[in-house]
Amino acid sequence: MPVNSTKTQTHQHVNGGADAPRPERNLRDLPVAGSRPPRSAPAGDVVLAYLRLQAHELRSLEQAVRADEYDAVHQMRVVTRRLRATLRSFGQVSPRADTAHLAAELKWLGQLLGTARDDEVLPAHLRDSLRPVPAELVIGPVQARVQGHFAPRRAAGHVAVTEALDSPRYAELLAELDLLTAGPLSGPKAAKPARKVLPKAVRKAYRQADRRMRQARRIPASPGRDVALHQARKSARRARYAAEAAALISGKPARRFAQQMKKVQSALGEHQDAVLARQSARELGIAAHLAGENAFTYGLLHEHERHRALRLQHDARQTWKKASRSRHLAWTK
């Protein structure tokens, strides 16, 4: 069988009313599939409980995604990431050798959802960037070109996602997920106390994010730094989701740490959106030029997104410093 972000404040107000994105749900909002594990529970039981929550959420989002509700693809992609992060972070609880195929299939689905998500939110992002530009500097049919560029891509993305959800491959993914969540998990640490095993796994995920943040900071401002920050974002996201799973047993300290990682993830997600918007502005400018239009405004957009990305890099570093304070990490030792 072949194997193939986070909303910005800008995106959150673009399509108000029926199109407004639903808030990302946290553990306390999700339906509990069975009772919450007791503090004495083994690691396998706690990881299973979290996986079951996400499996339930994956199915509950299908109708909204098929109906093309705004932000539904983002929400489903978040679930695929939570599932993959859990499988990766707790490899000593659920052996990676047993879940490698499922992780690859979740990646396949997540990539389809990610493409659809980008084509959904980028035009809104660019329209918001255009809003404060003086009318005399908006030269040519800029709004129409933005709409014309993304509308067919968004439609194609929805078709691709719907076809994926109708496919035998997705049905097999769900069946494999059902088999895993039926339990028990068989990793070498599955039977050990969750309160000892899970915090250490979260600490490991945090350390990877810390290394990647440091590496990104050493790279001069360039596309290379953008890529490095995107990798750091993935690690921060993994640490966040691992902490969410651990919160089933560790409570408030784990939830607070997850919130800190979410702030980092959000800052880096906005940075990645600016990077993608800058790339789109360049593509639109080239298309406008080839069509005989004036590409001046697209250059303004490109420069605006470049400065925005630099500002967000600084914001992300400050957010990371706050998230890395010892009081947020003490529970993982």
Mean pLDDT of the chain: 90
DSSP code string of 69-106: -TTHHHHHHHHHHHHHHHHHHTTTTS-HHHHHHHHHHH
pLDDT of residue 24: 54
Going by C-alpha positions, the residue among 46, 59, 56 that lies closest to residue 86 is 46
Could you give the percent of the chain with pLDDT greater than 90? 87
* Token representation of residue 284: 């639109």
In sequence order, the 6+-apart residues with CB closer than 8 A to the CB of 92 are 187, 188, 189, 190, 197, 201
What Å distances lie between residue 256 and 105, 251, 271, CA to CA?
31, 9, 23
Distance in angstroms (rounded) separating the CA atoms of residues 202 and 118: 29
Proportion of the chain in helix, strand, coil states, percent, rounded to 5: 75, 0, 25
Distance in angstroms (rounded) separating the CA atoms of residues 41 and 34: 14
pTM of the predicted protein model: 0.86
pLDDT of residue 34: 47
Could you give the percent of the chain with pLDDT greater than 70? 89
Looking at residue 137, the DSSP 8-state letter turns out to be G
pLDDT of residue 39: 81
∠ CA 89-93-97, rounded to 5° = 80
pLDDT of residue 13: 33
pLDDT of residue 37: 85
Beta bridge partners of 193: 42
Q: How confident is the prediction along the chain (333 residues), in pLDDT tens digits per residue?
A: 333 333 333 333 333 333 444 445 554 443 344 457 888 899 999 999 999 999 999 999 999 999 999 899 999 999 999 999 999 999 999 999 999 999 999 999 999 999 999 999 999 999 999 999 999 999 999 999 999 999 999 999 999 999 999 999 999 999 999 999 999 999 999 999 999 999 999 999 999 999 999 999 999 999 999 999 999 999 999 999 999 999 999 999 999 999 999 999 999 999 999 999 999 999 999 999 999 999 999 999 999 999 999 999 999 999 999 999 999 999 998
pLDDT of residue 277: 96
pLDDT of residue 35: 57
* Token representation of residue 130: 């255009």
pLDDT of residue 56: 97
Going by C-alpha positions, the residue among 152, 153, 131 that lies closest to residue 142 is 131
In sign, the C-alpha dihedral spanning 257, 229, 75, 86 is: negative
In sequence order, the 6+-apart residues with CB closer than 8 A to the CB of 265 are 6, 233, 236, 237, 240
Residue 107, H or E segment: helix 96-130
Distance in angstroms (rounded) separating the CA atoms of residues 49 and 25: 16
Contact assessment for residue 94 and residue 189, using Cβ atoms and an 8 Å cutoff: no
Contact assessment for residue 274 and residue 308, using Cβ atoms and an 8 Å cutoff: yes
